Chain A
Amino acid sequence: MAFYQQQDDRLPKSPAPLDYDLQSQKQLVAEATEEIKKELLEKWQQRYAGAQIFPDSLSSMNPALIDFLLAFNNTLFYNDLAKKFSLTQQQRDNLPKIVWYVCLNKKWEQLKVSLINDLSINTVATDQILGLLEQNIILHAKELAQQDFVAQRKIAGAQTADAQKQTLLSQPLNDALTKTPELGEQLITSEKITLRNFPEPVRPSIKNWLADYTFTIGYDNKDSIKRGNYIFHSQNALHLSPNDRQKLAYILKAHDDGSEITVNKNLKQIVFPVASPAPTAKPISATTPLPAAKPAPAPISRPQIPNPAYRPLSAQPPRAAAIPRPVAPNRPLPPTGPQNLTFQKPQTAAQPPARPASPQGPAVTPGNVSFSSAQKLPYEKIYPVKSDEVGATQFNRVNPVQSLPQQPPLEARANKIQSATPAQPAAQTKPHTAGPAPQQLPANQQPGDVKQSPYIIRPVFGNTEDTSSKKKPLPKNVVNLKDNFFQE
């Protein structure tokens, strides 16, 4: 009892189970159902418009006769006959077979013979069944079969054409909407549209589209440019398909100009003109002469951005062997094959000449892909190439095709290092540093005695060992952790 009392106490606190209008909700659902049903049926009819309905064997029959024979009442009639004359199931099943056969082949006289043969019952019963069959089915079937249904179809077609003419009516859009308000509900596009005063998207009906249009442009617009802007650039019309846009343009033009539209009175729908195919680009045939090739535009010279880290080549001593003759930009390039666009592994055997460097940017070299941009990718950045002469550097651009600086094989280099510094402590060797191969010291000269050159920061690239930067002897109270680490 106490439990129920508690529950009763809770009831007022909980929200009312039916705090909405059930009838209106039901009505909304019913309307939505009808709308969906209508759309589905239209789509179904479009899909199966030309579908085969009856087998080919029935093609010679008048469709009206087929429809008559397919009536469900016939089955009930056969059931009654079977009951009345106490026919077996087999005998009852033979009745429609006989009727179909007679009607299909128009052998009306053979009906009695077939009944006698297939039913194998007494003559009196056969005559009664024959009379009932003729009275209910065969007489009407004969009439239908004797009609020239081909001519009938033609007549029906002509009638429908006349009827169509009568049902189609031309009148101004505003008049049509006034006389037939249902026209405003006709959908002209596929996706819902947004009206400014409505929180939710609404049906893309003529009425809603016109509401949006008049809200955006105004009622008495005569400017086709404004209309065109709306059709192509308004928020609702942005994603329209060409066909939908054409329909919208037709409606809006009729609205603005007061031009007449065609209305189907029976269907209460506006009949849109058949959409003309959109002009497509004419395909270029093999025989179409191509336009004359335009002369290649002159290379655009970009202003070079001063890079503080970049030392212009002109400021450095030139090296005749490393700098090839720059190619003039107007000189025709030799034909380049596809192999010139593929990246190859650097070859150590043949080292191509370094690319010319000009203050106006990289010049075009045959066989290399070049870009006019002053910005450089990481692999394009300039790095110093150590020449044979100590201290002479040459700036080169890394080229994927171009090989790295020539080096002896790894084993030879290892042997060379071993033979050069057999007794040196490992702490003084620097196997992992970049730079040229270490210089051989005289036998009586200690590493600390080497005349030290000014320290130059060199970018670490490649595997060249640096000989110029000799190690300074560390103070006695400092442990060289780095070299000890590498030694391990």
Chain B
Amino acid sequence: MATEYFTDTILDRFVIPQIVFPQDTNQQKAALAWHILSLKDAELLLCGALAFSYSGIIAGISQNAIEYIAKNAPRRYRVELLESLKKNYVQKEVFEIAKSMDEDLGKNTTQNQDRIKNLIQYIKDNRGAFEF
């Protein structure tokens, strides 16, 4: 019973992190972003294309992960990510989450906000590979 519970929990964290993690506040979204940031490149794709419309998940994409997505993710993932980032309010929310992540780190760091800036810039630079 307990084994099944743990198995399901682990499975859900990979497959539907946007459901497992509550996202009512920026702090909760930041928790989801930290989880996504901790995943390896291929593991990020396990959550499905629709997950890339959630700002909490976009905020957790690392530089290596976005490169992996650009090189290996199927069309649906790229389209979903690009369409999400085209929306201004999503971009704003992603930056707020990154700011919240930096606040978690303390020391007035802006590394997560810089990461998000670079992420968006990377998608802009390689728009030809994201637009179908």
A interface residue numbers (CB < 8 A to B): 29, 32-33, 36-37, 40-41, 44, 48, 51-58, 66-67, 69-72, 74-76, 78-79, 93, 96, 100, 104, 200
Contacts and interface: CB of A to CB of B under 8 A. Distances in A.
A40 B74 contact: no
Interface in B61-110: 63-64, 66-67, 70-75
Contacts of A57: 128
A32 B6 contact: yes
A50 to B, nearest CB: 10
B46 to A, nearest CB: 5
The 4 closest A-B pairs by CB, nearest first: A51-B74, A96-B125, A72-B67, A75-B122
Instruction: Tell which of B64, B70, B72, B73 has the most Cβ of chain A within 10 Å.
Output: B70
Given A37-B43, A70-B67, A55 B125 contact: no
B40 to A, nearest CB: 9
Given A54-B129, A55-B128, A71-B67, A40 B75 contact: no
B126 A41 contact: no
A76 B126 CA distance: 13
Given A48-B74, A51-B75, A72-B64, A58 B129 contact: yes
Contacts of A48: 74
A104 B46 CA distance: 31
B42 interface: yes
Given A52-B75, A55-B132, A72-B63, A40 B125 contact: no
Nearest to A66: B129
Given A41-B42, A70-B126, 10 more contacts: A36-B10, A40-B14, A52-B74, A55-B128, A56-B132, A70-B67, A72-B63, A79-B121, A93-B125, A96-B126
B125 A53 contact: no
Interface string B1-41: 00100110011001100000000000000000000000000
Nearest to B15: A40
Contact of B74 (A53, A100, A104): A53
B81 to A, nearest CB: 14
Contacts of A40: 11, 14-15, 46
A162 B3 CA distance: 43
B111 interface: no
26 contacts: A29-B10, A32-B3, A36-B11, A36-B14, A37-B43, A40-B14, A41-B42, A41-B46, A44-B42, A44-B45, A52-B74, A53-B72, A55-B131, A66-B71, A69-B126, A72-B63, A72-B64, A72-B118, A74-B125, A75-B118, A75-B121, A75-B125, A79-B118, A93-B125, A96-B125, A100-B128
Interface of B: 3, 6-7, 10-11, 14-15, 42-43, 45-46, 63-64, 66-67, 70-75, 118, 121-122, 124-126, 128-129, 131-132
A44 B124 contact: no
Contacts of B121: 75, 79
Contacts of B63: 72
B122 A72 contact: yes
B108 to A, nearest CB: 22
Contact of B71 (A29, A33, A67): A67
Nearest to A67: B71
A129 to B, nearest CB: 15
B62 to A, nearest CB: 10
- Interface hub of A71, A72, A96, A200 (most chain B Cβ within 10 A): A72
Contacts of B73: 53
A323 to B, nearest CB: 72
A48 B73 CA distance: 9
A36 B13 CA distance: 11
A93 B66 CA distance: 18
Nearest to A47: B74
Nearest to B132: A55
A476 B42 CA distance: 103
A25 B32 CA distance: 24
Nearest to B74: A51
A69 B59 CA distance: 24
B129 A55 contact: yes
Nearest to B39: A37
Contacts of B7: 32, 36
A374 to B, nearest CB: 54
Contacts of A67: 71
Given A69-B126, A93-B124, A76 B11 contact: no
Contacts of A70: 67, 70-71, 126, 129
